[in-house]
Structure formats: C-alpha cells, structure tokens
Structure 1
C-alpha cells in the first residue's frame, strides 16, 4: 500500500492555479414529488447505473417507476431533511468538506507552496452540478483540475460515471483545463484507521459490546461483478483490513450489501436479510458501519438507522448502533486531505 504521510516539495514562485473538485452522488432539490422525480429521472437514466436495453428500460422507468417511486422516496427524504437549510445532509456535508479543505490548504496542508489551489464541489446528479463547478474553477483561472469522486471503492456506477460527466463537460469547452482523477482509496491506511477509530469511539459511547459488526456497502447488480467491476473485491479488501486493524475474527465483522431494487440478483449477502437472520439466530447487540459511504445520506440514516434497525428489534434484538459516516469530522477531513495531498504531489 502507498503511504501518504509526506509533504509536497516547494515549487518555484508563480506556480499554476489548480482546482480541486470534490464530487458526490447527488440529491434532489426538495422532498416534493417533482423534485424527487427530476432527480430519479437523471439518476436512473444513466447507462452506467442501469445496464438494461434502452427501449425496455425507458418504458419501465417512465411508465412505472417515475409514476410511484418519487412520492415514496420523497417521504423518506422528509425524515432526514434539514428544514433550516432546506437541503439533504449529503449536500450539507459535501459543502462543509469543500470549505474545510480550502481552509486546510490555506493553513499549509500542502506545505510552503506558491501554487494557488481553489476547492469547489458538485454533484453527479442534481444540484449543484459538476458543469457549474467546472465553470467556476475555470473562471477563476484554473488551468488544472484534480477531480476527487468521494467513493473509497471504485465502481462503474459511481466513480466512472462521475468521470464520464466531467469529460462531457470538458468536451463542450474549446480551452480545456488539464484533468487528473483521484484513485480509489479503499485500502489506504488513513482511511482504514479513520473508520476503525470512529467505530471504537461510537461503541465506547453506547456502552455495549456488539455480538456482530455489519459492514454494509451499497449494493450493485451481480452482473456488474461478472462483467469485471472491481467493486465487490475492493469492498471485501476494506473489510479485511478493518478486521486486522480491530483484531476481529471474520465472523465478528461481516460484509453485506444494501439498497437493491428490482428483480435481478444483486451482490450478496443482502443487508436486510442478514440483519433479520442475525436477530433470528440469537444476536442481541449489533453495530452497522457503512464504509462505502463517505457522508451520511438517505441510505445510511433512513435505510440503516431506521428501516434495518426496526427489522432487528422486531426479531428480538436489544441494541442497535448505526455508526455515522466519517462525514466532515476531523477524521473524515484527514482522509480527504491525504488523498488530495498525494494526488497533487506530481503537479506542484
């Protein structure tokens, strides 16, 4: 594994203006039917996300899914929505990360460099868009852009489609900035340590020792793994490193996959079925971590913290701890800072 704990050498005065663009999946603009429908239409029309025959999927999406699903998902979003900011936690956290990263750079994160580094952020789906973010960076003189999709594990449906969208934006520009995309960091020491320390701290606060720790990653159709997507293997590598770091046997920290929909087979074991089975088989205290998510969102707060917690309690479970994502905590920021520091090493 690479080690990030190093400083970037000092460049000569008058260095380049470099943009750092953080990207997350996205969020609807509101919880109402039309806001959620617009978001889902963009998300579920992505060929990287839904690898199905286009004509068939067009009918299913428009005639079935977009007529009913927006209302249901809108109600789910309403349970986690920030009414003060009128936005989802994912947007709040991603903005905060960009602001904190910019301050860290001003405070010397990159060493004594004369390069001007500007941080911005955008979403693959919804607002603020990647297009708007790139336009802002270029308008501020950025000749180079480091693109950082906030996904520890690589998947065509996450990292690749984010890059696709950015390439689409650049394709419309006559004078393009140079582009570099950050590599996945699923096995990096800083990331593994941050997840493990966050888990230790949270469990210390709960006052109970879990019988099992469930590492729940976002699900993908099984067909993506068969087609060669490395996501499944990278998720298991993350879990293996966490077990080593926490000194746990395999049966005490297990891997599952959540958020499936449709009738096709997805990566197994499924989170909801596993949690029900744990309760049925006598587990009384469990903790759930979501190492594939860098920021809390609908899938972690509502799906894990509410829906799956209820499955566990209904089955006889007594204690359930949902471990927060790293979010914009000091640990979370150290991970992103390490990624940026490493990737910018060859540029400044």
Structure 2
C-alpha cells in the first residue's frame, strides 16, 4: 500500500513486522526515507550548514578501534546501571526529539511504549506533539523532561511544574540551541510544520514581539534577547529537586561551571550537528570533559550512535550512558512502536556481544583499556 504526498512522491505504509532486511540500526534509514515525505525527511536528515559536524559525529566512532579479550568468564554479566538515583537496565536512552507525529501518527506515544517494552529511559521534548501528561501515562521506565527556556519565563516554570506533577524523574535543560542553526537542507526543501503537527505543550504561551531600533542586530538584540544565561541555570537549580542535567555542554570549562552551579549531570551533545557546524564530534570532546570533571558527575553522550560497539566506545571514554535521536526517528517512521523497540533491542544485544568479546562482564569493566587506539 502506498499513499501520495503533495510532492507527488509515493510513501510506503508503516511496517507491522520487522523484515530480515533490517538487521542493523542503520538499515532503518532507507526504510524511513521511503515512508517520509520530502518535508519530514528534510527536517530529520538535515544538519547545520555544510553538515560537517553531522558527518563527523559518525566518523569519530568508525576511527576508534577496539581490543578483543578471550577466555573470560562472562557468567552473570549484565548492563544494569544506577543513574541519578534511578535504575536503568541498560545505558541506551531515547533522546528528546521534537514533533514526532511528523514521522508517525502516534508520535511520542509510540516511542514511550517502545521504551517501556525495552526498559529504556526516554527524554520527552518541550516540542512534543502530545501533552506531557499523556506521554507520562504510558511510561513504565525512567522518563525525563527536556526543557527549552521560553521567552515567557513564568510559562517556563509552569512547564517544569507540570513535569514534576506528571512524575518525570529528571529535568534535561538544552543549553546549546538558544537560536536555531542554519539548516540549508531544510531551507532548500521549504520545511514547514504540516497542519495538525505542533508543540501542544506550548499552547497559550505569550510570544514576544520582535522590535528593533535602527542599527540593532536581529540576532544579538532580537533572537538572543531572551536566551538563558548561567544565572538562570543557578535559579532553576533552586526551583526544583529533580536531578538537573544540562544538554549541549562540550567545553570542559562549561562542564566545570555546570558542576559549580549544582547540575547533577551533563549530556555532551552538539545537537546532532544541527546548530553550529564545524564543531568536533561529541566522541572527540568526551575525553577532555571527563578529565576536567574527574568523575564528579555523570556524563552522557549523543550524536552518531548506530552500533553496540559505539555505545561501548563512548562508555570506555567516560560516558555513563548514551542517547539516540535519529535512529529513534528512522525506526518510528518505519514501524512505529515496534520499530523503536526493535532498534533498542538491537543496540542492547550488540552492546552485550561487544562486552563479551572485549572481556567486560559489567559496565564498570568498560575502561579505556578496551580501546586499541584512543583520541585521548
């Protein structure tokens, strides 16, 4: 069965079972492309500017080799970890992804059911297409809320209080995207949100009017006028007892500032290569941040994860867990909750096999010693 889009490109129906052709997480990409129109594809598949960082995120994993170890006793091995006072069965979480009904009619509800089925943590975006409360009602694994500071700070506080009341177990504040990156792929496609797709949790918020005096910059005096600063992170820390995680930290000095202001953890992220182009890969930045923090707070990482060996490499360089974004979208677009669950299971099984073949019975056994060459 196919349908027709406005761009007159046929779309294939969502799968109800996973074919043998999908043997790896990366296989989902082509299947998703067949099922998304040009508008949605431009959104999920785009990076900033020339997409150097987007490509580099993936290349960094490919350039890092592993040592194998043999004849190790693997009985009793497992992938369980404690993170922010919560028990996770494995270190792969679903990253916050906006507008998920752009990719599948059930959107975030399908994703959270898949996360529950696979005992995976999920981070829900401020720009979700279902309410925070609806998504939370389907959760059966750790659920975190990703917060974008809004120009209306009182409305921002209301979002936080809603997340607390709905039972979200951590607050993830994205700090690396106060303004959108220059995404030429989206511009060339004329990307727009279709009717019926929107950020339902922002309904009713007052939007500021952009008024510039002569000589003022649209960027510095306009778009950045309401951007958060470190002072607001400090205030936010005082407003909630939830674990506070800052997403988008890549510089060691920013990591130390986050620690000083009371953050409980950070996510090393370059927004999937969607904000500032020419940034290093997140994997390349991980060792320096880990060295600066010396284990004083958990580090998570996103960007470029496609294999269980990628998860192993990130953990070897200092990450406690990883998040996946585009693989979530590709699997969601291909087969809904079934696809997302299969994607998560594939990564977990690959991680377990990688651990077994490198002599790591638990996550604590994964150290830089498993790396045959390191970018440290």
Using the size of structure 1 for normalisation, the TM-score is 0.29
Larger relative helix fraction: 1
- Higher RCO (CA 8 Å, separation ≥ 6 residues): 2
